[in-house]
Each structure stands twice: as structure tokens, then as C-alpha cells.
A and B are shown apart, each in its own frame.
Chain A
Amino acid sequence: MPNLSGMHLVAAFIALLLIGLLLVPVAQVMIVAFQNPATGAATLNNFVDFFRSALFRESFWNSFYVSVVSVVVATAIALPLAYITTRFHFAGSALIQSLGFIPLIMPPFVGAVAMQLIFGRNGTVNLLLREHLGFDLPFMEGLNGVILVQSIHYFPFILINLSASLRNIDRSMEEAAQNLGSHGMRLFRRIVFPLAMPGYIAGAALVFIKVFDDLGTPLLLDVNNMLAPQAYLRISSIGISDPMGYVISVILVVFSVLSLWISFLFMRGRDYATVQKGGGGMARRELGPAEKVLAYAVVIFILLLVLTPHVGLMLLSFGTIWSFAPLPDGYTLQNYVAMWEGSRIFIMNTLLYAGIAATADVIPGVAIAYIVLRTRIFGRHGLDYLATAALAVPGVVLGIGYLRTFHSLDVPFVGKPLASWWVVIVLALTIRRLPYALRACMAALQQVSLALEEAAESLGATRRRTIHKIVVPLMKGGLLAGFITSFATAAVELSATIMLVGSSRDAPLSYGIYLFMQTPSGRGAGAALGMVAVVLVAIGTVITQFVIERDKKTRASGDQR
């Protein structure tokens, strides 16, 4: 093939970027795990110590337990939403999909604050339960709290991937089953869900890994006996003389890579490109009146649950004092005034950083997806694994790694080291969010039938033109999804940026909220800034959803026979 060398060049370039921005910085941190803290000699004793420790075994088990249960709960939240909005004619499907996405864009630490206020030991729900029914429920006690917050925060990963998969199931797949006498739950269980499995597994694997590696939520809920918090606490409080934190980092990375690999194995050979793009997606059905009531009840209940952090945040942002009471004592706009006085720069920075990072994610995302799925370049899977491995790197580890690696790297014309230039934040965000964009691109490309490309190539289009004219346009929906995911989650990312913010002038929004939330009187203002973040990204999401829906409608109308 004549253009293969070009593809090779692209692959090599991306590989270099990944090595420089991910592998080297992380290796700088992780190498400590294999060193004797006293002598610096290579050793594995640190790992032996780890597994001998009851605390670490318990942490490992807790992390595993929380991740698995979070996946289950997130599935229970996402599945009905995805199914109802893709399978039926349901007013407000686009709105539900957008609202369902919103939890992902709330900074987790803000979400945890709001969840404590609503579901906490003395939160709204429990105060009311105790007063009227005489009992309370331990929603937020210990691991429960982590599971609840994590499920609500990360279920959109499943929702998005599952919805996309459901939409892309060819209508005849389902009709064939109906024709053979299947319907209802059996149809769903035996045909629809297995066909949507690749999307579901992709989403569930993401949730599993994110929860497994997540630091912010357990820390905010003061749960320490999990792996990621242990790593963080060790690294940040004792430092390099204690290798345990670094050992845990290595274990986190290995375990996460392992679960990604298992999900890859599962998806291999399940390339259900069942839709000839532009062909019939899943048939939507009208709901009967009773079904409609039930569906709305389910949807509203789930939305209420997943939007609890937002409701709490809104109350907090408009409230005066909220202390040991179901609702704030009074309402005011003062918080917004206080917020506006000091936060515009944060908002601008956030839009800039997240925008650049998301754009910079989608481009290598498409390239890697294409290289992995459509070429036979040597080491292409390594590229995929490497990019995806960013998922497994705790933000703090990446942050420390960047500080160490780029501190001596002076940027020309700027006159300061890269480590204290704002672009380093963007780089960290880009690397951290690349896996999201990559998964979205992969899914989108997997759904594009190979025949369509071959058709273009057979018509004389070069590979580059085929990608440009056929592949990318057909992946548009997936790319957009990848962009939004990257953008929205980058906009609220805290863990890596907190290490890298060199000056408050360069700080993004999440950092601003964090600063506000560190004082008693700033809580309301922080909540107000959080509302701004939510609203900003929500508007973007809704617009994109409508674009996708419109795109789909024009396709669908061209398809009617």
C-alpha cells in the first residue's frame, strides 16, 4: 500500500508523544517502588511488604469491592435510561441523555459535599426520615458513601457507551427475534443486551477502573482504607523515603491495565458492526399509556437521584446558612456576587484548557483508533494500550512526574520551565483524557463497516482521502461524544492540576472551587462557581445532543422505504 509509510510516521509520532508525556514521567515516579529506600538498590521487597500488611490487603479488597459494586449500581442507573431513550418514542430523550451526562461534569469533590448535605448522616433525607419515621439509612457511611457518589458520578460512561451501542444495533436483529416469537425482557436479555455488550463492557470497564483508581471521592468522604488514598497519603505525607505509596501506584496501574486487557479480550471477535451506517438503527416503539407512566416514573426517579448533587449544590449556592437542617436557613444571591468578583479568570482558563485538551485528544484518538483497527502496523496494540494506560495513572502521580520531568525543560520565548507554564496543565489534561476520546473513537470506528472504506478505496480514493472523506464523517457522532467527554471531564479535573497550577492566574475552575471551599464563608461562593461550571458544560452538552439528534434524524429520513 502506497500510503502506509505516512501512517507509520503518524504512529511513530504519537508513540513518541505518549512516551514523553506519559511513560517517562510516570516511570520517574514508579521506579521508586523498585528501589530499596535506604540504598537505592533494585529490590522487590517492597511488594512483599505490601502483601504482608493487613491494612494493604484490606485496602486492596475494599477498592475491589467498591469498584465492582459501583459498576453494578451504575449499571442499574444507566441501563433503564439508555434503554428507554433509545428504544421508545419518548418525549425528551435528548434532554434525558443530556441530563444523564451532567453528573460526569461535576467536580467529584463538589458532588461529595452536596451528597453529604442531602444523603449524609445528618443530611436532608436522614433528618427527615428520623423525624417522621424514626430511623435513618447509612447512605454515606464508609464504603457506602464512596459507592453511591462514584456510581452517580461515573454512570454516564455506561450510559453513553450503552446508548451508542443500542442505537447502532440493526433494526432487523431485533425484528428477527420478534418474528421468531421473542419479546419483552427475554428479547432484551437474549438479543438486545448481548448485542450492546461491546458498548456496555467499554463503559463498565471505564467505570471499574476510574473507581478503582479514584482518589478524590474516597478522600473527601474520609475513607482511607482503599488503595488510591493509601498511595496518595503515603506519597504526599511521607515522601520518597517510604516506597509503599509508589508500590501501590504500581499495583493500581498493573491492576487497571489488567482489567482493560480483560475487557479487550472479551470484545475481541465481537465486532458487531451490524449497522450499515445510514441503515436502520434500532426500531423505536410507541409506549402504551401504562408503560408511559411507568417509564416516566423510572426516569424521573433516576434523574432525581443522579441530580441530587446538583440540587444540593444549587441549594447551597443560593442558601445562607445550612447547618443540621433539611434545607438552608434562608436564600440569597450574595454567593453569586462574591463568586463573580473573583472567578472570571478561572472560568476563562477552564474553557481554554479543556477546549485545547479535548481537541488535542480527539485527533490522536482518531489516529490511534484507525491505526489499531485498520492497519497492520507493528506495535499498534502497544499504542492503544499505552494511550489507555493513562487511565490507570492516578492524577497525582502524573502531576508529580510532570514536576520532576519538566522542571528543567525551559520553554523558548516564555522564559520559564515547562513545569510552571500553564501549557503543562493542558498537557496533563490531554494525557489524562486521551483514553476517553480514544475509546469513543474506537467505538465509532468499529461501527463503521469496513466495506464502506473499501468502496472508497476501490473508487480510487487514497487512504488519506478515504479517512478524510469517509471514515471521519461517519465517525462524527462518536468523535463528538469523545470530544464532549474529554472536555467536560477535563473541565472539572482537579487531581493532576492541583499539583501543576503554578499561579492562581493560571488556575482552572475546579481549583477555584477548591480554594473557595476551604473556608467557612466561601462555601456558598464555591457552590455558586460550581453551578457556573455545571451550567456551562451542560449548555454545551445539550447543544451537542441536539446536533447529534438532528444528524440522526436527517439520516433516518433518508432511510425510509
Chain B
Amino acid sequence: MAQTGITIEDLHLSFGDTDVLRGVDLDIRPGEFFAFLGPSGSGKSTLLRAIAGFGPRPRGRILIGGREVLDLAPWARNVGMVFQSYALWPHMSVRDNVAFGLRERRVPARQIRDRVDAALDLVGLGHLDERMPNQLSGGQQQRIALARTIVVEPEVLLLDEPLSNLDASLRVQMRRELLGLQRKLGLTTIFVTHDQEEANTTSDRMAVLDGGVIQQIGTPQELYDQPANLFVAGFLGTANIFEGRIETDGDGVRFHTRTGEVLTLPEAGGEGANLVLRPQNISMTLAPREGGLRGEVLHREFLGSQIRYLVRAAGTEIVVDQSHSAGRDWFETGAQVHLVVNTASAVVL
């Protein structure tokens, strides 16, 4: 199957006086599994719907496979969309739901039957074809919605929070299935979610949106390790943020915390005055250490593979994860500790 890329240039969109998208630029490569990640109200669903052709007409450009689509009606774009609510038509059987798009395309009846069977088998529900949608479980409905969309062989697959209505275990299973399916079909896929774990585990690349603006685009690791700004840093995983100032002199780069402690950084980072550290990049001892920060344990959570401590240090509260193995000592609440920072992994923003 020929794979299609999507290019979005300077896309603006507003509902009345509210600007929902403000200058979105994006390039999605053919065959890519791409995630839009962001809190609710960030514009990610609106952006997805704009690609599908729903909602008010945006300004800017959207190209699917090099074809300008902004002036095309939704039914002329050949993009497949799976809705958050699945939108299975309650008055049609599963088979009729799946066959709908093919009938609209005037595919011969015989071919429709074969293709519907194939699509249902693909999602593993070939035996439910005569059921009505309200007789299906949530996961089954999800799969039918997916089958209904892919059976028409769209150029692009759009998934609007497809897993949000499923329970946790099913969600993990479904996202693997989704990914497997996407790999099998090679469909360029956009996946909207507010769940970073979903985005991390499935997507080749993702875009983090906030306030109608793309904050950063990259692979999950890039975004986690090298967040472009505090929003991305905070939105993806847990980030400790030290406020302070950066001084550069002959000896190197130093970060002065607000309480006057000094951390030496390996190289000059950005121009910002915030040091971002992941919890697992801080280690903790009872004994004083050179170049460490002093702190007090406020709270402790046992997470299985690791133990998460909430520590007051450098005038703020930071999260420290220590890996756990049997027999290892815990730090008690109230303990005075010393923190050693792996400055190589720190990001200055």
C-alpha cells in the first residue's frame, strides 16, 4: 500500500473569539504512527478533526499525500477516523456498520462481503457480524469501529482518544493490537491522547500540544530526555524543577539554587534559569557527599520496582526515585539526607 504523509502549515482556527489552534506546523511521514499529546483543551482533537474535515474551516494549509485538502469535504478526503465514542450506528448490525463505507463507494456486493469478512477477521470479531452494536462490549465496539474505518482502505488513519473508554488492562492490550495492526497495514496513523504512556508506548513520534500551539515534536525518548520547555518537561513523566541562576566562569558552569547551594554542570545548557532533573537521576544517602544538596524526607511511596520519596531541598519539594530490591534499607520520613545529582542528565530551561 502506498504510504501517505501529512503536512500542516501555519494552521489557525478559532471558535468565535476563542483561538483554538494558533499556527500549527507539522510534518508527518508516510507510514508513521504519530501521536498528538496534550491536556484537554490543548487543541489536539480540534487539530485531528481539522485533518478529517470536521469543524470550522481553518486558515493555513493541510496536505495529505501532497494534496491540498482544506477545501475538500470530509467525504472526499479519504481519511479514516475512529471516534472516541466509536459512533457505531445503533440501527445497523455490525456487518452493516462495517459495510457502510464500501456501499457508499459502490463496491460490488460480493466484494463487500469478502472485505467485511476480512476486516472483521482482522480485528478478531468475525463471529459477531450479525450482532447489533448495543450487544457488544466496549472493546468489541472499539474493534468494530476500527474495522469499519480500515475496511475502506483510507490513506490516513485518525484515532481520537480511541482507548479512553476502555478499562486499563484492555487498554494495554488494545494499544498493542492497534500498533500491530498499524504496522501490518503500514497506514499513516495519528493518535490523539492525553495519556503519555499510550503515546510513549505506541508512537514513532509525537507532538505535544498546549494552548493551540505545538510545544515540541520528536520521538518519545527525545521529548523525555530533551524537553524543549518546562511544559513538555512537566507533562511527560515527572520532572523536578530547580529555580535559580546559571553562572559561567573559568571552572565551568555552575547552577546557584535559591537557597545558595551550588551545582556544577558539565556544560552550558540553555539560557533559562531552571534546572530540570528526572527523579531517577538523583541519588540519596544519609552520609554527606561532596556537591550534594541537603534535604529532608517528607513522604515515601512504595511502587514495587522503586521507592518514591518526596524530599524538601533547595527551597522546593522534589521527587526522588530509588530502585528497590529485597533487603535494601529505606529512608524514614523525617530523615535528613544528602542528594547527589547526576548533572549529566540535567536539562537547563
Known contacts: A179-B52, A186-B104. The answer to whether A274 contacts B41 by CB under 8 A is no
B91 at the interface (CB under 8 A from A): yes
Tell which of A187-195, A469-477, A502-510 binds the partner: A187-195
A561 at the interface (CB under 8 A from B): yes
Known contacts: A172-B87, A195-B89, A270-B90. The answer to whether A182 contacts B100 by CB under 8 A is yes
Are B100 and A177 in contact, CB atoms less than 8 angstroms apart? yes
Q: Chain A residues with Cβ under 8 A from B141's Cβ?
A: none
Q: Which of A180, A270, A272 has a CB less than 8 Å from the CB of B104?
A: A180
Tell which of B71-79, B239-247, B288-296, B306-314 binds the partner: B71-79
Q: Give 1 or 0 for each of B4-41: 1 = CB within 8 Å of chain A CB.
A: 00000000000100101000000000000000000011
B193 at the interface (CB under 8 A from A): no
B152 at the interface (CB under 8 A from A): yes
In the complex, A170 Cα to B74 Cα: how many Å?
17
In the complex, A154 Cα to B99 Cα: how many Å?
38
Are A179 and B79 in contact, CB atoms less than 8 angstroms apart? yes
Best-buried of A180, A269, A276 by chain B (most CB within 10 Å): A180
Whose C-beta in chain A lies nearest to the C-beta of B54?
A175
Q: Shortest CB–CB separation between residue B344 and chain A, in angstroms? A: 40
Q: Shortest CB–CB separation between residue A215 and chain B, in angstroms? A: 37
Q: Chain A residues with Cβ under 8 A from B182's Cβ?
A: none
Q: Which of A190, A271, A276 has a CB less than 8 Å from the CB of B100?
A: A190
A176 at the interface (CB under 8 A from B): yes
Q: Chain B residues with Cβ under 8 A from A19's Cβ?
A: none
Q: Chain A residues with Cβ under 8 A from B149's Cβ?
A: 179-180
In the complex, A178 Cα to B101 Cα: how many Å?
9
Best-buried of B45, B79, B104 by chain A (most CB within 10 Å): B104
A519 at the interface (CB under 8 A from B): no
Are A560 and B87 in contact, CB atoms less than 8 angstroms apart? no
B345 at the interface (CB under 8 A from A): no
Q: Shortest CB–CB separation between residue A184 and chain B, in angstroms? A: 9
Q: Shortest CB–CB separation between residue A268 and chain B, in angstroms? A: 12
A461 at the interface (CB under 8 A from B): no
B84 at the interface (CB under 8 A from A): yes
In the complex, A178 Cα to B100 Cα: how many Å?
11
Q: Shortest CB–CB separation between residue A559 and chain B, in angstroms? A: 10
Are B104 and A179 in contact, CB atoms less than 8 angstroms apart? no
In the complex, A276 Cα to B85 Cα: how many Å?
10
Are A181 and B101 in contact, CB atoms less than 8 angstroms apart? yes
Are A176 and B104 in contact, CB atoms less than 8 angstroms apart? no
Known contacts: A170-B87, A272-B91. The answer to whether A176 contacts B45 by CB under 8 A is no
Q: Give 1 or 0 for each of A11-45: 1 = CB within 8 Å of chain B CB.
A: 00000000000000000000000000000000000
Known contacts: A181-B104, A197-B91, A270-B90. The answer to whether A176 contacts B83 by CB under 8 A is yes
Q: Shortest CB–CB separation between residue B260 and chain A, in angstroms? A: 46
Cβ < 8 Å to A, chain B residues 38-92: 40-41, 43, 45-46, 52-54, 73-75, 78-81, 83-85, 87, 89-92
In the complex, A191 Cα to B100 Cα: how many Å?
10
Q: Chain A residues with Cβ under 8 A from B20's Cβ?
A: 560-561
Are A560 and B18 in contact, CB atoms less than 8 angstroms apart? yes
B184 at the interface (CB under 8 A from A): no
Whose C-beta in chain A lies nearest to the C-beta of B97?
A176
Best-buried of A173, A195, A276, A561 by chain B (most CB within 10 Å): A561
The 7 closest A-B pairs by CB, nearest first: A180-B101, A172-B87, A176-B87, A181-B104, A178-B74, A172-B83, A194-B91
Residues of A whose CB lies within 8 Å of any CB of B are 170, 172-173, 175-183, 186, 190-191, 194-195, 197, 269-272, 274, 276, 283, 560-561
Pick 9 A–B contacts, CB within 8 A, sort by A.
Answer: A172-B83, A175-B81, A180-B75, A181-B78, A186-B104, A190-B100, A194-B91, A283-B54, A560-B15
